[in-house]
Amino acid sequence: MFISKLVWNMLYYKKVINTYIRRFVVAVTAETNTIYWRTKKLNDEILKVKPEICIERARLVTRAYRENEFDPIIVKRAKAIARVLREMSIFIQRDQLIAGVQASSLRAVPLFPATEADYLVSEIDLFETREQDRLIVRPEIRKELLEEILPYWEDKSLKKIALAAMPEKTREIAQLEHQIFSVDIHLTGSIGHVLVDYDKVLSRGIEQIRQEIVGKMVCLDLADPEEGKKYHFYQAEIILCDAIIDWTKRYADEAARLAELEEDPRWKKELEVIAKTCDRVPRYPAENFQEAVQSFWFIHLLLFIEQNGLAVSPGRFDQYMYPYYKKSIEERACTKEEAQELLECLWIKFTEIMRAYDYECAKYYAGFSISENIALGGVDRNGRDATNELSYMCLDAEAHTRLSQPNLSVRIHKKTPEAFIMRAVEIASTGRTKPEFFNDQVGIPTERKSVA
């Protein structure tokens, strides 16, 4: 009995020691391997930034609304976003392999006056001093907001319109000082908790989607009022498709311009690849892993430029991205190490997305949380294990970056490879809240019952 217990203890402690050795080796490798110098550099840069308010989006949207006052709301909104995409400042961060920024500087926070106007007026002087999620507000930005931009939205904000439409008793409850329930996150934000069809853009491209829209548009019977509504929707879609193509072409031109001036041969070559990539996607279907990652990022970023949503998520990233990774590896368009480096550049990009929460929401969502959830592993539609090589690489990207975004989930079932579970557990055991674990064998039947 004593011998068996002693042997068991020896085996247990050996396993524990081996686990810590593996963690140490992973940590040392991440610091010393030349692949990870870029990750460390970009990580350090993003963590040093003091977030501040960017006024460009608010300025451009307000101008567009003023100029298109009598257009249908869906067309007016499309024209406003198109103007932002064509006129907002763009830049390419040195050594970052993925192009596309949300605002005029790294981790600057754009404003959405249609939903935020009310609390921007009352809380503009709290942003720099509040306990959570402090934001720098430059004096000239404060002046322009209060004197030129926010007065236009005084009677046009979503909150004002929604409160006016509520029954009197509901409105009273919604405006209590000590609220029974809070609707502010819905009235000062936009659509969230959604997962768009990224694969549609990756596989077909904006140009083909635009052609499909035109095809539907020309078939409309405009004598029918219901068809007229569809016309405005298709019109808005075409406006945005054209603006997206122009927006991404701006990055292609900027990368080409920087490449012409660059003396470092490594960064010069990378800029040339960025220019070529942005010239193709998302306008056309992605042909390799780098194009797929860049196309994905443009579409994901666009959702946060267009609206002030929360939990707009990439979803099963390892599933729809894997074919592009596999193709690039098989055709030797890139190595696994190069693909890993690209993934880690993307992981850092997720943390660039910012939101100017109001005072109360900042307390609940402290840390500039955006909740962009990526789900890895799980089963496919036939119940087979869907874990692939990219699933492991995404876990490694999380281990190497260790930033607040993206939110990360792993889906577990009885056929999940033990190595995948152990890698996920190893990352979670470092004291972080990621990844989260979900049981497909419980979750999927539950979801089916809930929609039955």
Q: What tens digit of pLDDT does each residue of 413-435 get?
A: 999 999 999 999 999 998 878 99
- The runs of H, that is alpha helices, within 34-112 are 37-48, 56-67, 73-87
pTM summary value: 0.91
Please provide the DSSP assignment of 214-232 as one string.
HHHHHT--TTSHHHHHHHH
pLDDT of residue 14: 45
For residues 31 and 252, what is the distance between their CA atoms, to the nearest angstrom?
32
pLDDT of residue 153: 96
pLDDT of residue 20: 44
CB contact at 8 A, 146 and 121 = yes
Q: Which residues contact 73 (CB under 8 A, 6 or more apart)?
A: none
Which stretches in the chain have pLDDT values below 70?
A: 1-35, 181-182, 451-452
Going by their DSSP bridges, the two strands 108-109 and 373-377 should be labelled as unpaired
**What's the token pair of residue 213?**
């829209």
pLDDT of residue 34: 53
pLDDT of residue 226: 84
pLDDT of residue 35: 61
**What's the token pair of residue 41?**
């550099």
CA dist list (Å): 178 to 42, 163, 174, 260: 43, 17, 10, 59
For residues 58 and 81, what is the distance between their CA atoms, to the nearest angstrom?
11
**Interhelix angle 322-330/389-401, nearest 10 degrees:** 100
Considering only CA atoms, which of 324, 299, 323, 322 is closest in space to residue 312? Answer: 299
